[in-house]
């Protein structure tokens, strides 16, 4: 048997690989073959303690992989799923904003998360959701990491648009245009500017 690394670096396995490790362990056990945490640690390039931890969370890891196999390839950690409805609604909002070409900042994500959580809070079963949620910068960072979101700064026109000011100005223009007949309204192409 090859010697174990004396100082292995920390390695995060995706949940799908953790499930593979568990299935291999179960398979070897069912065939009455001797399997040690050390042998699995060498094969999966993790420490024996990590193998032990993975095996102790067997049921949760296998259940997660069965429910969301595509996400199990991307994620490395299990976390409490009691805020999942809020995160799913927030992700839908985020996609809608991006589809409209809007720049979404971290403060926007945190503010919208609070709005969604406040609206959904009465629908959680007793004790399932925390009494108060502040959606901190750390929470937002974890949310972005888990959902593989990268925020990019908008530059030029896309980064400088104040949508509320645009809405106000559009309403002002509409009220001004009501004073004129339709045939008296020209655009820049018609006036030659």
% the chain with pLDDT above 70: 80
**What whole-number distance in Å separates Cα of residue 111 and Cα of residue 97?**
14
* Tokens matching residue 182: 């339709």
Query: Tell me, what CATH number does 113's domain have?
Result: 1.10.10
pLDDT digits (tens, 9 = 90+) for 25-54: 999 999 988 889 999 999 998 989 999 999
What's the pLDDT at 94?
93
What's the pLDDT at 193?
46
Q: Is residue 130 part of a domain?
A: yes
Closest CA to 103 of 58, 141, 142, 150: 150
* Helices and strands in the chain, H and E counts: 11, 0
Q: Is residue 151 part of a domain?
A: no
**Residues spanned by the domain of 174:** 160-191
């Amino acid at each position: 048997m090859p010697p174990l690394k004396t100082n292995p670096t920390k390695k995060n396995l995706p949940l799908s690989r953790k499930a593979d490790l568990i299935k291999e362990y179960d398979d070897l056990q069912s065939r009455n073959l001797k399997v040690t945490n050390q042998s699995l640690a060498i094969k999966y390039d993790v420490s024996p303690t990590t193998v032990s931890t993975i095996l102790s969370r067997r049921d949760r890891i296998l259940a997660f992989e069965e429910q969301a196999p595509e996400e199990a390839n991307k994620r490395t950690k299990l976390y409490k799923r009691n805020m999942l409805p809020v995160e799913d609604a927030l992700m839908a909002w985020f996609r809608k904003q991006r589809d409209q070409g809007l720049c979404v900042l971290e403060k926007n994500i945190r503010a919208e998360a609070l709005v969604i959580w406040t609206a959904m809070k009465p629908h959680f079963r007793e004790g399932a959701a925390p009494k108060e949620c502040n959606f901190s910068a750390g929470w937002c960072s974890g949310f972005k990491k888990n959902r593989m979101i990268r925020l990019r700064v908008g530059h030029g026109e896309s980064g400088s648009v104040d949508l509320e000011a645009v809405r106000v100005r559009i309403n002002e223009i509409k009220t001004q245009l009501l004073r004129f007949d339709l045939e008296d309204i020209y655009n820049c192409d018609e006036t030659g500017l």
